[in-house]
Structure 1
Amino acid sequence: MAKIIPFKAVRPTPDKVALVTCRNYDDYSSAELAAWLSFNPYSFLHVIHPAYMYSQKITLDKRFKGVAHKYQDFKDDGVFMTEDQPVYFLYEIQTKTEIFTGIVAGTSIEDYKNNRIKKHEDTLQYRVEYFKDYLHQTGFNTEPVLITYPDNIQINEWIAKKKKDQPVYNYSTTNKEKHQLWKVESAEEIHWLTQQFEDIPELYIADGHHRSASAELLYDEDKHLGNENLNYFMSFLIAESNVKIYEYNRIIRDLNGFSREDFLEKLSEHFIIKDKEQELWKPQSKFEFGMYLDGHFYALFYKQQGMSESMLGNLDAQILYDTVLLPLLGIEDLRNDERIEYIPGKQSVATIKELVDEGEFEVGFMLYASDINEIKALADNNLIMPPKSTYIEPKFRSGLMVYEL
C-alpha cells in the first residue's frame, strides 16, 4: 500500500502566481536569467538564486542562508500565502501538444526506504549531499518528485469531476503553457483519495531520484528532532499513461582517433548500416539507432536484437554504451566525461545536425525512447538505467508549491 498525506502548502497569492512561478533554474540562459531578475521582482528566481551577480563568490552556506532569507522576504511581503489546514491539490499543465494532470501530495519516506516507491536511475552522492544541505539550510522544498501510479478508473473519474470546479489558479506562462490548480480540502475527499492510494501496492519515480534520495538522507540525519514533515517529501503523482517519455540523444566531440571509414567499419560488426544521406532520420522502433556523421544521417539496426539474457542488456541506451561509446569512443563515465553531451529527444534532430556541422562535435547518436513498461520492469528488478536515458514530462513550475520542513 502507498501512503500519501495532505500538507499545509505555501503558495503564491492568485494575483501573483503567473509572475512568481518559473522554469527550472538550469533551463535559463544567462541572458534570460538576467532579464527575468531585472524586470520581474516577483520571480521565484530571486529566491532560488539570491545575489545572482555575486553567487560564484560566496560560500554554499551563505548562499543557502540567502535563499532562506529571500523566501522569508517573499512571505513577509505577501507574495506567498499558507494554507490553513493540510490539503491535496489537483494540478493540470497544458502544453501545445499534451495535457498532464496529477495530484500534489506528501509521499512517505518509509515507502521509499521499503521500495514501495521504486527507482530506475542511479544517483551521484555529491548531488544528494548537496541538495540535502540545501533542504537543511533553507527549510523548504519547491521541486516535487514526479511519481507515476497505475491507471485507475476511479481516480480518473474523480479527476474529471474535480476539474469542473472553480480552480484556485488559472494562468498562462510565456512558454505558452496553461496551468490550472484545484484545492482538495474537504475531509471526505481527502479521506477518499488517501484510501485510493492505500490500495496501490507500488509507485514509481519518473523524475527526481536525487530529490527523493536527499529527502531520505535528511530524514536519517534529523529524524531525532521530531519534525513530522521530514517523514514525507512532496510529490506530483500522475497516472503512468499520462507521462511523456523522451529519449536523451548523445553528441560526441571526436571519434577517438578513428577515421570516418574505420569507424563505420567497426560499427558494422554490431549494426546493419544504411546511409540516409540528408534525410533527417530518427529511430522508428527499439533496437534502431540514428547517427549523424560527416554530413550524412545513418540508420543503424542492431544485429543481436533481444539476444541478451540481461534485461539491462536489451536496453537501447545500454546497447549503445556497450557497443559504441565505451569500446570505440572510449567514453567510460557517461556523467562526467566532457567529450559527451546530451540533447533531449523533444528537440529536433536538426539540432544535432547543426551542432555537428558547426564543428564542436564530430558525431551524434539518436535513440528510440523507452516506454513506461520497460522502465517499470527495470525498477521491479532493481536494475539501474544508464545516466541520461530518459527525459520525462511534465515539468513542475518552481515556486508554484512549497513544502516546508
Structure 2
Amino acid sequence: MSAIVWTAVVSLAAWCWLLLCQGFFWRTDVRLPPRRDPAAWPSVCVVVPARDEAGVLPASLPSLLAQDYPGRAEVFLVDDGSADGTGELARELSRRHGGLPLTVDSPGEPPAGWTGKLWAVRHGIGLARARGPEYLLLTDADIAHAPDSLRELVAAARTGGFDVVSQMARLRVESLWERLVVPAFVYFFAQLYPFRWIGLRGSRTAAAAGGCVLLRADMAEKARIPDAIRHAVIDDVALARAVKGSGGHIWLGLADRVDSVRPYPRLHDLWRMVSRSAYAQLRHNPLLLLGTVAGLALVYLVPPATVVSGAVAGSTATAVVGAAAWTVMTGTYVPMLRYYGQPLWLAPLLPFIAFLYLLMTVDSAVQHYRGRGAAWKGRTYARPDAVPDES
C-alpha cells in the first residue's frame, strides 16, 4: 500500500483507540453523581474573584445571592483591581436583590509569582476562613447558578465522599463562531481529561472546571490551595492535581443548570480565550508543541485530506479508509452537539474546527516567545520556571 493509505490506516486506528480506550470521553452522560440530603447541612463560603466584570455581573451574581441552601452560606466577591466599578456594582446588586450575605473586598495588586485570579482567590479564602466553613465554592464572576446549585453540589460531595465536586459550566452558544468553536472546546477538554477517569480513586487523571469548584476547606488547607499553584495560568487543572496529589477524591462532569454568561461573539474573542493558555498547557515545551501539531494533523486533518486525495487519484482504498476515520470522528462529536443543542450537520466540520485550534495553539507559542503569552485583562504572566520559588 502507498504511504497515503498507510497514513489513513494509522489515523483510523487512532480513532478506534480514542473511541474505545480513552475513557469514553465522547459521552455526555457524566452529570452530578447520585446524592442524598445530609442530616445536617454544612456551612459554605462562596468565593468569586472578579476583575472588570461589570458587564456580566448583573446576570451572574444575583443567582448566587438567591441560592436556596438549607445551611449557612455567604458570598465573598474579591475585586481584583477592577477599573469598571465591579465592586460597587456588586454591592448595589446585593442591596437590590438581597439573599445571601455579600462581602466585597480587594487584595490589591498581586505580588510577583502570583496570577491575579489566584491572588484574589487567596484573599477570598482568607476572609472565608474566619467563618469556619466546611466547604468553599470557587466560582467565576461570569457563572450563573440555578437556585439549587449549591444544595446539589454539597449533597453530591457529602454522598460520594468527594473533596472536590466540579461542574463544567455550559458555555454560551449564540453567535455563529460560538456555535462552531465552543462545543469543540469542551469536546477537546474531555478528550484530554476523560471525566470517567477523573472520578476513579487511584487514577492519575486530574482536572476541574474553574467556573464551578466545590472544595472541602480542610483539603484546601492540606493541599495548600491556592499557594501551591499561585503561578498557574490553567488554575483549575493545577488545583485538581494538587488535591489528588494530597490524596483527595475528585469528581468532574458536565453541568445542567450552571451556565457561563460571558459572550464570545467574534472569532477573535474565542481565539484569545484559547491561545492565552494553550502553550501553558504544553508546559511551554517546543517538542510538545511539535508533537501536538503532528497529532492534531494525523487525527483530525488526515481523514478528510485522504478522502479528497483518494477521490482525485482514483484510489478507492485511500478514500474508504479516510472516510471510515472521518465517520468515527463525526460520530464521537454528535453527543456534544446534542448537549449544546446544535444542529448535527456541524459534526463533519470538526476537522475544520480542529485546524482552527491547531492555529490557536501555534499562535499561543508565538505570543509567548514575543513576550505576550498568557496575557489576560491587562496582565501578562511568566512561565512557572521563570518565577522564583518562595516555598
Higher relative contact order (CA 8 A, sep 6+): 1
**Where on the TM-score scale, by shorter chain, does this alignment land: which range?**
under 0.3
Provide TM-score, normalisation by structure 1: 0.24
Structure with greater strand share of residues? 1
Provide TM-score, normalisation by structure 2: 0.24
Structure with greater helix share of residues? 2
